[in-house]
A and B are shown apart, each in its own frame.
Chain A
Amino acid sequence: MEIALQSLRIILEPSHFLMLISGVLLGLAIGILPGLGGIVGMTILLPVIYGMDPHDAFALLIGMVAVIPTSDTFPSVMMGIPGSSGSQATIMDGYPLAKKGQAARALSAAFTASLFGGLFGAAVLTAVIPIARPIVLSFGSPELFMLALLGMSMVGVLSGNRPIKGVLAGGLGLMIGALGAAPALPEYRYYFGIDYLMDGIPLVIIGLGLFAFPEIIDLLIKGKAISEAPTLGKGWLQGVKDAISHKLIILRCSVIGVIVGFLPGLGGTVVDWISYGHVIQTTRDRENFGKGDIRGVLAPESSNNAKEGGGLIPTLLFGIPGSGSMAVFLGGLLILGIQPGPSMVSEDIGLLYTAIWSLALANVFGAGLCIMLSKPITRLTIIPFTYIAPFMILILTLASYQATRSWGDLIALLIMGILGWVMKQYGWPRPAALIGYVLSDNLETYLFISVQRYGIAWITRKGVIILALIIAISMVLSILWKTKKKPTTKLVYDSDKQAS
């Protein structure tokens, strides 16, 4: 306790505090720019931290990475463009809310959920330090494969009344993820002799192509503002009230966020989809999901902030990065001369608490700043889109090009964009494709390792059986509730009607 308080005192010293705020501001800026995420932020900061005091560097790095999942809500809610990989699912309900003129409500609910999720992650990090080791070690490749499978089961949930198209879209995502180097042996697949495809298509291209490109084109075709309502509405307080009234959803999704972040190798890119799928599966009145249900905003936003706390556990205690940004963070630790591992608990406990305090304070400041910035930023939704579109196209091309810095990025963006637009027009669930893509590598790699290591016996492991039961129960419940709640009205898609 004394060490924890001492770390807090250090963090609150003006120079350290300035570093934390600098990190938070950079994180906010990176989160607002679509396509840029924690990896980019960490990469920008790495050259800065050479020779820096470790407490300062921790405040800077963690301050930055902690608030990206908060500020990335802006583009997701207001433009239907994923701000970063952790806010893909927020689009599903956040953007329809913005179109209804309820952007303010969606944002305030999201920031409240983010704040809670972030603080929850920091609290879990504090509590788990002494007992983390056996938990992390109990998850082998078979269990990680089952977790990836749990993520894939969300495809069914996100397909609505079009299960065939949903499964096919998921399969398409899996196949796009299978482009390039095979994980099991040195062989390249489906690269058509194009060097660019040998490494596969980066996630940022898939996300921007499937979601941002179609949205920009559609808004240009409509020639209107993003919001269909002329005013922003008075939803600021309502959003906070929504978060409070759905506190159990936020709590459950924060737990999911911590667990997924905590497990090395699963990657934070899927956490928002898992929590979004979870909230739909465990809800009876689900017909408004995808049309602007506030619960669809609260779930991913609480989990993506909570995952940062979870992700720090294996990174700091075992030197195993839980996500891409944590891998770069690990490099930062080595630059500072800190050897992550179990010895940190005994030798560098002060630094561990600095990390925890930085995480908690960054979340508080991040959420506060986002709420302050919301009002002017939300005004973008009522400006005619032709004023915003050119800069969106600039950001789209810029964000894509920074992925691998080759012409292939720009060409892949265009191809994925056309694919995303056609999928959007003709009712192919794009989220299912994205989930398939994100999980493709994990599914193949963990299945391969499981079979190589345990043979067929991997399916008899306790963890695998428990996770299989969870998947089965959630799917059965989902189907049962869906059939009980059979809708009486049919939504007719104008595009289809007019096309025919």
Chain B
Amino acid sequence: MIVISRLLKIRVVFAAFIFVAFGYGMCEAFSFGFLAKIFPLYICLFCTILAFFNLILEIRHSWREAIDSGVGFVDLESEWDIPMSEVIERFCRYLLLLLLLYVSIWLLGYSLSITIFLVIFYRFLTGTTWRIASVAGLAGLAFISLISKLMVIDWPLGIIQNWIHLPWPLG
């Protein structure tokens, strides 16, 4: 169990995912026509080998509980002042919130969902009063309505619009 818990860290799982993705890309490339396969095949071939070495390195690092180090301009890696387990937990919470927004868009349509989302977010996560949250929601609705007019975009409708006739911009 200890061995598995040491190895099953997100970084190792992600490195394995990258290896599998390139491996799949390589296998899939064989099914394409000659001119279509050359580019992805050679990239995947090269990257699969490299991803394998990277996976070994990640496993070795995890096994030794080594910390990855790097200097300079690689990326904007996060530096946390809270435990990583809590970071993951919060990430999952916000991801769930976004998934709920998506489900809401599917059910209620984009305009209505985003308005409700703004109100709920401001009221319960930001902690403002209902009044401010409602103003924010209406401001959001006005903004997407303006963009809809300017760019001639119809926002996605939900299931509810098939049942109830709602006035523009909600329907």
**Which residues of A sit under 8 angstroms from B140, Cβ to Cβ?**
390-391, 394
Closest A residue to B62 by beta carbon equals A500
A30-42 to B contact mask, C-beta < 8 Å, 1/0: 0000000000100
**Which residues of B sit under 8 angstroms from A495, Cβ to Cβ?**
77-80, 84, 87
Q: Are B151 and A418 in contact (CB under 8 A)?
A: no
The answer to whether A91 has its CB under 8 Å from any CB of chain B is yes
A476-500 to B contact mask, C-beta < 8 Å, 1/0: 0000000000010111111111111
Interface residues of A in 231-290 (CB under 8 A from B): 280, 286-290
Q: Are B25 and A175 in contact (CB under 8 A)?
A: yes
Q: Are A402 and B151 in contact (CB under 8 A)?
A: yes
User: Beyond A161-B69, A401-B153, A448-B35, is A290–B25 a contact (Cβ under 8 Å)?
Assistant: no
The answer to whether B163 has its CB under 8 Å from any CB of chain A is no
Q: Are B117 and A390 in contact (CB under 8 A)?
A: yes
The answer to whether A343 has its CB under 8 Å from any CB of chain B is no
**Which residues of A sit under 8 angstroms from B70, Cβ to Cβ?**
160-162, 427, 491, 493
The answer to whether B130 has its CB under 8 Å from any CB of chain A is no
User: Beyond A161-B72, A414-B98, is A499–B9 a contact (Cβ under 8 Å)?
Assistant: yes
B53-82 to A contact mask, C-beta < 8 Å, 1/0: 110010000100111111111111111111
Bound Cα distance from A407 to B46, whole angstroms:
34
- What is the size, in residues, of chain B's interface with A at 8 Å between Cβ atoms? 77
A200-217 to B contact mask, C-beta < 8 Å, 1/0: 000000000000000101
The answer to whether B36 has its CB under 8 Å from any CB of chain A is yes
Among A2-10, A185-193, A364-372, A464-472, the stretch that binds chain B is: A185-193
A138-152 to B contact mask, C-beta < 8 Å, 1/0: 000000000000000
Among A44, A287, A424, contact of B150 (Cβ-Cβ < 8 Å): A44
Q: Which has the most chain A C-beta neighbours within 10 Å: B25, B43, B151?
A: B43
**Which residues of B sit under 8 angstroms from A164, Cβ to Cβ?**
50, 53-54, 57
Q: Are B90 and A184 in contact (CB under 8 A)?
A: no
The answer to whether A229 has its CB under 8 Å from any CB of chain B is no
Interface residues of B in 21-61 (CB under 8 A from A): 21-22, 25, 28-29, 32-33, 35-36, 39-40, 43-44, 46-47, 50-51, 53-54, 57
A-B interface pairs (CB < 8 A), number: 234
User: Beyond A185-B33, A426-B10, A431-B75, is A492–B50 a contact (Cβ under 8 Å)?
Assistant: no
Q: Are B87 and A174 in contact (CB under 8 A)?
A: no
Q: Are B11 and A426 in contact (CB under 8 A)?
A: yes
Bound Cα distance from A479 to B53, whole angstroms:
22
Among B28, B54, B77, B126, contact of A493 (Cβ-Cβ < 8 Å): B77
Q: Which has the most chain A C-beta neighbours within 10 Å: B14, B91, B154?
A: B91
The binding surface of chain B is classed by DSSP as: helix
The answer to whether B167 has its CB under 8 Å from any CB of chain A is no
Among A55-63, A120-128, A165-173, the stretch that binds chain B is: A165-173
Interface residues of B in 108-151 (CB under 8 A from A): 110, 114, 117-118, 121-122, 125-127, 136, 140, 143-144, 147, 150-151
30 interchain pairs (CB within 8 A)? A92-B73, A92-B76, A96-B76, A161-B72, A164-B53, A167-B50, A168-B22, A168-B47, A171-B22, A174-B43, A175-B21, A175-B22, A178-B39, A215-B76, A218-B78, A221-B91, A280-B73, A289-B72, A290-B72, A291-B73, A390-B126, A391-B136, A394-B114, A394-B140, A407-B156, A414-B102, A424-B76, A427-B75, A447-B39, A487-B72
Known: A175-B25, A397-B101. 14 other contacts (CB 8 A): A43-B151, A44-B150, A158-B74, A160-B74, A162-B68, A171-B50, A178-B40, A190-B25, A414-B98, A425-B87, A429-B74, A494-B79, A494-B81, A495-B87
